């Protein structure tokens, strides 16, 4: 790996974030680092385990504990994803 690539490990490319419209390094979903973290917490709150990189590799019996920890630290309200109406 080239040393320059180590410094830019997060950003796959640069552009405008789909979440906050800021310009900078983006991930594969087009989100900046801050919005990417919010998205990650939101999918965990919604129990969408298949979309969570953080929940990947977490045993199924430990996922609810992960969700509770996220809610305790950041609250239950979604940060980036619009809530769906039931």
SS3 49: helix
The share of the chain scoring above pLDDT 70, in percent, equals 85
Q: Does pLDDT of 73 surpass 80? A: yes
CA distance 33 to 26: 7
Q: What is the pTM of this model?
A: 0.81
In this prediction, residue 9 has a pLDDT band, given cuts at 50, 70 and 90, of: low
What's the rounded mean pLDDT across residues 40-64?
95
Q: Does pLDDT of 7 surpass 90? A: no
Backbone φ, ψ for residue 25 (5° rounding): -65, 135
């Amino acid at each position: 790996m080239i040393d320059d690539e180590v410094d830019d490990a997060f950003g796959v490319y640069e552009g405008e974030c789909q979440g906050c419209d800021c310009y900078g390094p983006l991930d594969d979903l087009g989100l900046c680092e801050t919005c990417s973290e919010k998205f990650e917490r939101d999918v965990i709150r919604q129990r969408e385990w298949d979309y969570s990189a953080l929940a990947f590799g977490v045993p199924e019996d430990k996922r609810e504990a992960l969700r509770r920890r996220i809610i305790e630290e950041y609250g239950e309200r979604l940060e980036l994803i619009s809530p769906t109406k039931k």
